[in-house]
A and B are shown apart, each in its own frame.
Chain A
Amino acid sequence: MEHFIDALGEMCPIPIIKAEKRLKKLKPGEKLILETDHSCSIQSVTGHFEKKYGYACSIVEVEEGIWQIEIIKK
């Protein structure tokens, strides 16, 4: 199942806090997509979930300066 968080217009670390809270409720293998326009987030969110939790992340820049970060819970 795919889950979606819209974090447009929210500064760090709000996107991470929201994603962390949502990911806790997901089952392993489920996918979360976080949409953000905060350029720091693409590095901080992926760094946080890849390095701290070992979740696989990938990023698509859907528009100039808007990214969708895909996080798969392990």
Chain B
Amino acid sequence: MSIIPEKNTGLSFLIKNKSVFRQRQYALIIIFLNVVLLFLLSHYATRFFYPWLFGLLFGFVLQRSRFCFAAAFRDIFLIKNTILTRAVIVALIVSSLGFLLLEILNPGVELLFTFGKIQPVGLFTASGAFLFGIGMVIAGGCASGMLMRMGEGYMMQWVVMPGFLLGSAMGAWHLDWWYELFISRAPVVFIPHLLGWPLAVLLQISLLLALFILAGVYQNGWKGPASGWTKRINPLYLLQSHFPKSPGTGQGLYPLLFKKPWSYVTGGVLLALLNIFYFVAWGSPWGITDGITFFAAWMIEFIGFNPDKWFYFQGATRIEGCCLPATRINYWAFPLVYHFMAIITGALIASLLAGEFRLRKMRSPKFVFAALIGGLLMGYGARLSLGCNIGAFFSAIPSFSLHGWIFGVSVLAGSYLGGKILLRFLVGW
């Protein structure tokens, strides 16, 4: 253990931190390969360019700010802490306003209704999100968190992934049945169609602001350490990182950007902005699980199943960018398959640049079960509710679709039960 004085800047920081220096070399190699890859994609396979580019950026921001959607729900109950919840709410406000701006900039096309994350809403939304909420707590992260942590070298999340793939495949397989019974009869509720744009926007923003304040009061009371009104709403205060001083992190631009964690609100605002740009570039807001489900289908083709006829993939023509020949579906040609892989790569790069990558073992075998079951619940839940924390929540609420809110409330309920399971079985004293 070496304690390094605080005044390390730039190059001297790197020289004194051999581990950061060594891991940074790997990071630079991977960045170089990705630049080459992006150049090739932009010339020869343009459909794959944006999903890959934005995957890297999303993964990078997720790792740098340790932005964890699972914690945003779970920590409310488990440790009575809403710091991430509030960051998610800030991100939802930013992306709602951004999506609204896109709608205004494209008059006459009903941009959000046509291309946003709009889905039918019903009991299946709530049930799927509830399963997803249980799964993400016992698996130690939701879909985005799983990908981020796979990039950081967590063995546990590499076990969650097979569970998630199996769950997604089962969910896609059963979707025919769910669709006929429930989903086809459920309404699509686009709030601006119901209330008109001005009221919908006013209601959404004031509800988010109210939740933001409520979450702060829930944690700190009216007179807690951060209870002043100025602190509650001051953007500069919110964006500031509360990472404590620690020997070895040093000062200067490199540690600030690549070593010290960014504040949660910084991460949330950046994710919201990326989501807005991704919407413009890709034509649809951020979503993860469609890509994972197509990858699952690609894998189960190898073991002799034929998912081509399943409703989920038949209905996939609605997913833009997908190439759907009448007879045979080329799962590998679905661009979002590579989006989730790029998120893993982006998190890997961020982790290496910080010199904190390592293969992280699980503490005991019970975490293997937790990971598999959690992954299975998340994969299946995401198919049933037609999306995950990202597609059916983080992109759905700014799309002004009611199913995003129902998903949010139900995933919150699921995370409560997941927390009980975690306390009962996974916390070893």
Contact = CB atoms under 8 A, between A and B. Distances in A.
Contacts of B363: 8-10
A27 interface: no
Interface string A37-49: 1111011101110
A34 to B, nearest CB: 13
Interface string B255-269: 000000100100000
Contacts of A47: 81, 83, 242
Contacts of B141: 11
B362 A39 contact: no
Contacts of A9: 360-364, 367
A16 B55 CA distance: 30
A59 B246 contact: yes
Interface majority SS (helix, strand, loop, mixed), chain B: loop
Given A39-B351, A58-B244, A60-B1, A17 B83 contact: no
A25 interface: no
Of the four ranges (under 10, 10 to 19, 20 to 34, 35 or more), the interface on chain B belongs to 35 or more
Given A9-B363, A13-B74, A64 B68 contact: no
A45 B96 CA distance: 30
Contacts of A17: 78-79, 423, 427
Contact of B68 (A14, A40, A42, A60): A40
Interface in B16-33: 19, 23
A16 B78 CA distance: 10
A14 B426 contact: yes
Contacts of B244: 46, 50, 56-59
Given A13-B78, A39-B152, A42-B261, A51 B68 contact: no
B242 A50 contact: yes
A29 interface: no
B259 to A, nearest CB: 9
A54 B224 CA distance: 10
A35 B422 CA distance: 20
Interface of B: 1, 3, 19, 23, 63, 66, 68, 71, 74-75, 78-81, 83-84, 140-141, 152-154, 156, 219-220, 224-226, 242-249, 261, 264, 351, 355-358, 360-364, 367, 422-423, 426-427, 429
In the A-B complex, the 8 residue pairs with the smallest Cβ-Cβ separation, listed nearest first, are A9-B363, A11-B140, A59-B246, A65-B358, A65-B356, A40-B66, A64-B19, A43-B261
Given A39-B152, A40-B66, 20 more contacts: A9-B364, A11-B141, A12-B140, A13-B75, A14-B427, A17-B79, A44-B71, A44-B84, A46-B242, A46-B244, A50-B244, A51-B225, A58-B245, A58-B246, A61-B246, A61-B248, A63-B358, A64-B358, A65-B153, A65-B351
26 contacts: A8-B361, A9-B362, A11-B154, A13-B75, A14-B422, A17-B78, A17-B79, A20-B79, A37-B360, A39-B63, A39-B351, A40-B68, A43-B264, A44-B66, A44-B71, A44-B83, A48-B81, A51-B242, A52-B80, A56-B244, A60-B248, A61-B246, A64-B23, A65-B357, A65-B360, A66-B358
Interface of A: 8-14, 16-18, 20-21, 37-40, 42-44, 46-48, 50-52, 54, 56-66
